[in-house]
Amino acid sequence: MNEFFTNYGLELVQKTWEHFYISIIALLIGVVIAVPVGMLLARTNKLGNWILMIAGVLQTIPTLAVLALMIPLFGIGKIPAIIALSMYILLPILNNTIIGVRNIDQNAKEAALSMGMTRLQLMSQVELPLATPLILSGIRLASVYVISWATIASYIGAGGLGDFIFNGLNLYDPVMIIIGTVAVTVLALLTDKILGLVERYAVPKGINISR
């Protein structure tokens, strides 16, 4: 174990940052796409349900297959990995956004409209704050997914902690495999913990999204 840290200590730090960077960029892209789309789809039951079904079907496709599909389209490296991962995490964020908006008390929406709010103001000042608890819950779930799935992105040259795991498999080096696995797990847990704190302090006290 000591020999591993002596030989690969600096590389471990670099790969951890690389893994975190890929994951967070993919997560941000997923949030930017899924939250506004989810808020719009919440108004249409049929279309919203169809989109959720399609997103669910896409998520059943093996991660490695999606990453392999990115190669002829975008080549190898971080860009195709980020694109593939951002597609994979759309479902939990989209699903929670739609549910969060649909669960808002209809009386609150009608009161906002009666005060002269536009649809855009209703979305930004009423629906988004009230749906925030569920949206953040979806983002936390997606963060754990994306950090776990980013491990496989090593196969297409994206780097990250997956390099240690797969190199360990190729070299029959259990220490390398264990260190890589533990590092991914710790990174996922820390990210979930940080987002949990953000959720606690970002959601105004007294918000209740239930009917």
Question: Per the domain annotation, does 128 fall within a domain?
Answer: yes
Question: Per the domain annotation, does 207 fall within a domain?
Answer: no
Range of the domain at 128: 2-202
Specify the CATH number for the domain of residue 64.
1.10.3720.10
Residue 208 has pLDDT above 70, yes or no: no
Q: Residue 117: CB partners within 8 Å, gap ≥ 6?
A: 125, 126
3-state secondary structure the chain: CHHHHHHHHHHHHHHHHHHHHHHHHHHHHHHHHHHHHHHHHCCCHHHHHHHHHHHHHHHHCCHHHHHHHHHHHHCCCHHHHHHHHHHHCHHHHHHHHHHHHHCCCHHHHHHHHHCCCCHHHHHHHHHHHHHHHHHHHHHHHHHHHHHHHCCHHHHHCCCCCHHHHHHHHHHCCHHHHHHHHHHHHHHHHHHHHHHHHHHHHHCCCCCCCCC
Average pLDDT over residues 185-211: 74
In this predicted structure, which of 12-16, 79-83, 113-117, 201-205 has the lowest mean pLDDT?
201-205
Question: Per the domain annotation, does 120 fall within a domain?
Answer: yes
Note the pLDDT tens digit of each residue in 26-80: 999 999 999 999 888 888 878 878 887 877 777 777 777 777 788 888 888 889 8
Question: Per the domain annotation, does 211 fall within a domain?
Answer: no
Average pLDDT over residues 5-14: 85
Domain count, the chain: 1
pTM: 0.85
CA–CA dist 152, 203 (Å, integer): 34
Query: What is the structure's pLDDT at 210?
Result: 40
Nearest CA-CA partner of 147 in 195, 97, 111: 195
Question: Per the domain annotation, does 131 fall within a domain?
Answer: yes
Question: Per the domain annotation, does 141 fall within a domain?
Answer: yes
Query: What is the structure's pLDDT at 116?
Result: 78
CA–CA dist 156, 154 (Å, integer): 5
Residue 96 has pLDDT above 70, yes or no: yes
- The residue ranking higher by pLDDT, 111 or 187, is 187
Query: What is the structure's pLDDT at 203?
Result: 64
Question: Per the domain annotation, does 208 fall within a domain?
Answer: no
Note the pLDDT tens digit of each residue in 102-120: 888 888 777 877 887 777 8
Query: What is the structure's pLDDT at 28?
Result: 95
Residue 190 has pLDDT above 70, yes or no: yes
Share of the chain above pLDDT 90, in %: 28
Question: Per the domain annotation, does 16 fall within a domain?
Answer: yes
What is the signed CA dihedral for 142, 144, 146, 148, rounded to 10 degrees? Answer: -150
Note the pLDDT tens digit of each residue in 153-179: 888 888 889 999 999 888 888 999 999
Backbone angles phi, psi at 161, to 5 degrees: -70, -15
Q: What mean pLDDT value characterizes the chain? A: 84
Average pLDDT over residues 134-155: 90
